[in-house]
Amino acid sequence: MGRARRRAPRPPVEVSGDETGAVGEVLSQDRLAQLAQLEERLGVRFRDRSLLDLALRHGSFSHERGHDPGKSYERLELLGDAVLSLVVSDDLYRRYPDMDEGGLAKQRARVVNEAALASVARRLDLGRYILLGRGEEKGGGRQRQSLLADAVESVIGAVYIDSGYGVAHHVVSRWIHELGEVIQRAGEDFKSQLQERLQRRRQMPRYRITQEEGPDHARTFLAVVEVNGRPLGEGRGKSKKEAEQAAAAEALSRLERGGA
Protein backbone atom coordinates (compact mmCIF):
# COMPACT_ATOMS: atom_id res chain seq x y z
CA MET A 1 0.00 0.00 0.00
CA GLY A 2 1.16 3.54 -0.74
CA ARG A 3 1.67 6.21 1.81
CA ALA A 4 -1.49 7.87 3.08
CA ARG A 5 -2.15 11.28 1.65
CA ARG A 6 -1.82 14.14 4.05
CA ARG A 7 -4.99 16.16 4.30
CA ALA A 8 -4.54 19.76 3.24
CA PRO A 9 -5.04 22.26 6.07
CA ARG A 10 -8.44 23.88 6.17
CA PRO A 11 -8.64 27.52 5.21
CA PRO A 12 -9.73 29.78 8.08
CA VAL A 13 -13.46 30.26 8.38
CA GLU A 14 -14.41 33.90 8.12
CA VAL A 15 -17.00 35.39 10.45
CA SER A 16 -18.04 37.99 7.91
CA GLY A 17 -20.58 37.22 5.18
CA ASP A 18 -23.92 35.44 5.31
CA GLU A 19 -24.22 31.89 6.58
CA THR A 20 -27.42 29.89 6.65
CA GLY A 21 -28.53 28.33 9.92
CA ALA A 22 -30.13 24.99 10.65
CA VAL A 23 -33.64 26.21 9.84
CA GLY A 24 -32.74 27.98 6.60
CA GLU A 25 -32.39 31.46 8.09
CA VAL A 26 -29.37 33.69 7.68
CA LEU A 27 -27.30 33.76 10.86
CA SER A 28 -26.71 37.27 12.15
CA GLN A 29 -23.24 38.72 12.48
CA ASP A 30 -23.64 38.67 16.27
CA ARG A 31 -24.54 34.97 16.18
CA LEU A 32 -21.62 34.16 13.89
CA ALA A 33 -19.28 35.98 16.25
CA GLN A 34 -20.69 33.99 19.19
CA LEU A 35 -20.20 30.70 17.36
CA ALA A 36 -16.64 31.65 16.39
CA GLN A 37 -15.90 32.43 20.04
CA LEU A 38 -17.27 29.07 21.13
CA GLU A 39 -15.18 27.33 18.48
CA GLU A 40 -12.10 28.83 20.14
CA ARG A 41 -13.21 27.47 23.50
CA LEU A 42 -13.86 24.04 21.99
CA GLY A 43 -10.61 24.02 20.04
CA VAL A 44 -12.54 23.00 16.91
CA ARG A 45 -13.15 24.85 13.64
CA PHE A 46 -16.43 23.73 12.06
CA ARG A 47 -16.73 23.20 8.31
CA ASP A 48 -20.50 23.69 8.69
CA ARG A 49 -21.12 26.23 11.42
CA SER A 50 -24.88 25.71 11.16
CA LEU A 51 -24.35 22.36 12.90
CA LEU A 52 -22.94 24.13 15.93
CA ASP A 53 -25.86 26.55 15.84
CA LEU A 54 -28.30 23.62 15.74
CA ALA A 55 -26.49 21.96 18.67
CA LEU A 56 -27.31 25.03 20.76
CA ARG A 57 -31.02 25.37 19.86
CA HIS A 58 -33.24 24.26 22.69
CA GLY A 59 -36.68 22.89 21.81
CA SER A 60 -38.38 25.86 23.48
CA PHE A 61 -36.61 28.26 21.11
CA SER A 62 -37.75 26.36 18.02
CA HIS A 63 -41.29 25.96 19.35
CA GLU A 64 -41.78 29.68 20.02
CA ARG A 65 -40.68 30.52 16.50
CA GLY A 66 -42.88 27.93 14.83
CA HIS A 67 -39.96 25.92 13.52
CA ASP A 68 -39.98 22.19 12.85
CA PRO A 69 -39.64 20.49 16.29
CA GLY A 70 -36.80 18.47 14.78
CA LYS A 71 -34.79 21.66 14.37
CA SER A 72 -33.49 21.58 17.93
CA TYR A 73 -30.55 19.84 19.50
CA GLU A 74 -32.36 16.67 20.56
CA ARG A 75 -31.20 14.47 17.66
CA LEU A 76 -27.61 15.63 18.04
CA GLU A 77 -27.88 15.04 21.78
CA LEU A 78 -28.82 11.40 21.18
CA LEU A 79 -25.87 10.95 18.85
CA GLY A 80 -23.50 12.80 21.15
CA ASP A 81 -24.48 10.59 24.08
CA ALA A 82 -23.44 7.51 22.09
CA VAL A 83 -20.16 9.10 20.96
CA LEU A 84 -19.35 10.23 24.50
CA SER A 85 -19.98 6.77 25.91
CA LEU A 86 -17.74 5.19 23.25
CA VAL A 87 -14.89 7.68 23.79
CA VAL A 88 -14.95 7.26 27.57
CA SER A 89 -15.23 3.46 27.34
CA ASP A 90 -12.31 3.35 24.91
CA ASP A 91 -10.22 5.57 27.17
CA LEU A 92 -10.94 3.47 30.26
CA TYR A 93 -10.38 0.16 28.45
CA ARG A 94 -6.88 1.25 27.43
CA ARG A 95 -6.02 2.97 30.72
CA TYR A 96 -7.05 0.07 32.99
CA PRO A 97 -6.13 -3.19 31.17
CA ASP A 98 -6.65 -5.34 34.28
CA MET A 99 -10.00 -3.87 35.37
CA ASP A 100 -13.07 -6.10 34.95
CA GLU A 101 -16.34 -5.12 33.28
CA GLY A 102 -18.00 -4.03 36.51
CA GLY A 103 -15.10 -1.78 37.44
CA LEU A 104 -15.01 -0.19 34.00
CA ALA A 105 -18.76 0.43 34.12
CA LYS A 106 -18.44 2.19 37.49
CA GLN A 107 -15.57 4.35 36.22
CA ARG A 108 -17.57 5.27 33.11
CA ALA A 109 -20.56 6.26 35.24
CA ARG A 110 -18.31 8.75 37.07
CA VAL A 111 -17.81 10.64 33.81
CA VAL A 112 -20.94 9.96 31.75
CA ASN A 113 -23.46 11.54 34.08
CA GLU A 114 -25.37 14.77 34.37
CA ALA A 115 -23.28 16.39 37.10
CA ALA A 116 -19.96 15.79 35.34
CA LEU A 117 -21.26 16.98 31.96
CA ALA A 118 -22.71 20.12 33.55
CA SER A 119 -19.26 20.80 35.01
CA VAL A 120 -17.84 20.62 31.49
CA ALA A 121 -20.53 23.03 30.27
CA ARG A 122 -19.78 25.54 33.01
CA ARG A 123 -16.07 25.39 32.28
CA LEU A 124 -16.84 26.20 28.63
CA ASP A 125 -19.41 28.83 29.67
CA LEU A 126 -21.71 26.96 27.29
CA GLY A 127 -24.90 28.36 28.78
CA ARG A 128 -24.34 31.81 27.28
CA TYR A 129 -24.44 30.38 23.73
CA ILE A 130 -27.63 28.31 24.06
CA LEU A 131 -30.76 29.62 22.32
CA LEU A 132 -33.76 29.38 24.65
CA GLY A 133 -37.42 30.28 24.47
CA ARG A 134 -38.64 33.10 26.69
CA GLY A 135 -40.32 30.78 29.19
CA GLU A 136 -37.27 28.57 29.57
CA GLU A 137 -35.07 31.65 29.93
CA LYS A 138 -37.24 33.06 32.72
CA GLY A 139 -37.26 29.68 34.43
CA GLY A 140 -33.47 29.70 34.78
CA GLY A 141 -32.87 27.14 32.05
CA ARG A 142 -29.51 28.65 31.11
CA GLN A 143 -28.05 27.42 34.40
CA ARG A 144 -30.10 24.24 34.78
CA GLN A 145 -27.84 21.25 35.20
CA SER A 146 -29.86 18.86 33.03
CA LEU A 147 -30.05 21.36 30.18
CA LEU A 148 -26.31 22.08 30.30
CA ALA A 149 -25.52 18.36 30.25
CA ASP A 150 -27.80 17.85 27.24
CA ALA A 151 -26.09 20.72 25.41
CA VAL A 152 -22.65 19.20 25.97
CA GLU A 153 -23.84 15.96 24.38
CA SER A 154 -25.40 17.79 21.44
CA VAL A 155 -22.16 19.70 20.81
CA ILE A 156 -20.26 16.40 20.84
CA GLY A 157 -22.73 15.09 18.26
CA ALA A 158 -22.18 18.16 16.10
CA VAL A 159 -18.39 17.79 16.29
CA TYR A 160 -18.72 14.14 15.28
CA ILE A 161 -20.94 14.88 12.28
CA ASP A 162 -18.78 17.79 11.13
CA SER A 163 -15.27 16.44 11.75
CA GLY A 164 -15.52 12.71 12.45
CA TYR A 165 -14.77 10.40 15.35
CA GLY A 166 -11.08 11.27 15.60
CA VAL A 167 -11.73 14.93 16.35
CA ALA A 168 -14.64 14.11 18.67
CA HIS A 169 -12.41 11.65 20.55
CA HIS A 170 -9.70 14.31 20.92
CA VAL A 171 -12.14 16.93 22.22
CA VAL A 172 -13.81 14.64 24.77
CA SER A 173 -10.48 13.19 25.95
CA ARG A 174 -9.12 16.70 26.50
CA TRP A 175 -12.16 17.64 28.58
CA ILE A 176 -11.74 14.54 30.74
CA HIS A 177 -8.07 15.19 31.45
CA GLU A 178 -8.36 18.95 31.84
CA LEU A 179 -11.15 18.73 34.37
CA GLY A 180 -9.37 16.04 36.37
CA GLU A 181 -10.47 16.68 39.93
CA VAL A 182 -13.81 18.13 38.85
CA ILE A 183 -14.65 14.96 36.92
CA GLN A 184 -13.49 12.83 39.85
CA ARG A 185 -16.03 14.59 42.06
CA ALA A 186 -18.77 13.15 39.88
CA GLY A 187 -18.28 9.85 41.68
CA GLU A 188 -18.54 11.31 45.17
CA ASP A 189 -21.56 11.21 47.43
CA PHE A 190 -23.16 14.59 46.72
CA LYS A 191 -26.12 13.81 48.96
CA SER A 192 -23.85 13.46 51.99
CA GLN A 193 -21.97 16.63 51.09
CA LEU A 194 -25.19 18.57 50.75
CA GLN A 195 -26.62 17.24 54.01
CA GLU A 196 -23.43 18.17 55.91
CA ARG A 197 -23.47 21.65 54.44
CA LEU A 198 -27.14 22.23 55.21
CA GLN A 199 -26.84 20.84 58.73
CA ARG A 200 -24.40 23.64 59.52
CA ARG A 201 -27.30 25.98 58.68
CA ARG A 202 -29.72 23.86 60.74
CA GLN A 203 -31.52 22.76 57.60
CA MET A 204 -32.31 19.36 56.08
CA PRO A 205 -32.79 18.42 52.41
CA ARG A 206 -35.87 16.57 51.20
CA TYR A 207 -35.86 14.59 47.93
CA ARG A 208 -38.83 13.93 45.67
CA ILE A 209 -39.07 11.96 42.43
CA THR A 210 -41.25 14.23 40.30
CA GLN A 211 -41.16 12.45 36.95
CA GLU A 212 -40.54 9.04 35.40
CA GLU A 213 -40.06 8.57 31.66
CA GLY A 214 -39.34 5.79 29.21
CA PRO A 215 -40.01 2.05 29.07
CA ASP A 216 -39.23 -0.22 32.00
CA HIS A 217 -35.87 -1.30 30.56
CA ALA A 218 -34.72 2.29 29.94
CA ARG A 219 -36.36 4.31 32.70
CA THR A 220 -35.29 7.90 33.42
CA PHE A 221 -36.11 9.64 36.69
CA LEU A 222 -36.26 13.33 37.58
CA ALA A 223 -35.53 14.23 41.19
CA VAL A 224 -35.89 17.54 43.04
CA VAL A 225 -34.19 18.39 46.32
CA GLU A 226 -35.98 20.93 48.49
CA VAL A 227 -35.12 22.88 51.62
CA ASN A 228 -38.01 24.28 53.65
CA GLY A 229 -40.32 23.53 50.72
CA ARG A 230 -38.22 25.51 48.25
CA PRO A 231 -36.52 23.73 45.28
CA LEU A 232 -32.73 23.92 45.50
CA GLY A 233 -31.71 21.59 42.67
CA GLU A 234 -32.95 18.98 40.23
CA GLY A 235 -31.34 16.17 38.31
CA ARG A 236 -32.00 13.20 36.04
CA GLY A 237 -30.71 9.67 36.26
CA LYS A 238 -31.28 6.10 35.16
CA SER A 239 -32.22 5.24 38.75
CA LYS A 240 -33.85 7.16 41.59
CA LYS A 241 -30.54 7.17 43.47
CA GLU A 242 -28.64 8.56 40.49
CA ALA A 243 -31.28 11.26 39.95
CA GLU A 244 -31.10 12.29 43.61
CA GLN A 245 -27.31 12.46 43.44
CA ALA A 246 -27.56 14.69 40.36
CA ALA A 247 -30.08 16.92 42.15
CA ALA A 248 -27.76 17.20 45.15
CA ALA A 249 -24.83 18.09 42.87
CA GLU A 250 -26.83 20.92 41.29
CA ALA A 251 -27.86 22.16 44.74
CA LEU A 252 -24.22 22.22 45.86
CA SER A 253 -23.24 24.10 42.72
CA ARG A 254 -25.98 26.63 43.36
CA LEU A 255 -24.87 27.12 46.95
CA GLU A 256 -21.28 27.63 45.82
CA ARG A 257 -22.43 30.31 43.38
CA GLY A 258 -24.31 32.04 46.18
CA GLY A 259 -27.67 31.37 44.57
CA ALA A 260 -29.35 30.18 47.77
153 flagged as catalytic: yes
* Residues contacting residue 252 through CB under 8 Å, at least 6 positions apart: 190, 193, 194, 197, 233
Alpha carbon 175 to chain centroid distance? 12
81 flagged as catalytic: yes
Q: Which of 153, 242, 244, 250 is catalytic?
A: 153
Q: Which helix (H) or strand (E) holds 226?
A: strand 220-227
Query: What does the angle CA 153 – CA 67 – CA 210 come to, to the nearest 5 degrees?
Result: 55
* Residues contacting residue 238 through CB under 8 Å, at least 6 positions apart: 218, 219, 220, 221
Q: How far apart are CA 236 and CA 222, in angstroms?
A: 5
Q: Which of 53, 81, 244, 250 is catalytic?
A: 81
Query: What count of other Cβ atoms lies within 10 Å of the Cβ of residue 176?
Result: 18
* Residues known to be catalytic: 81, 153
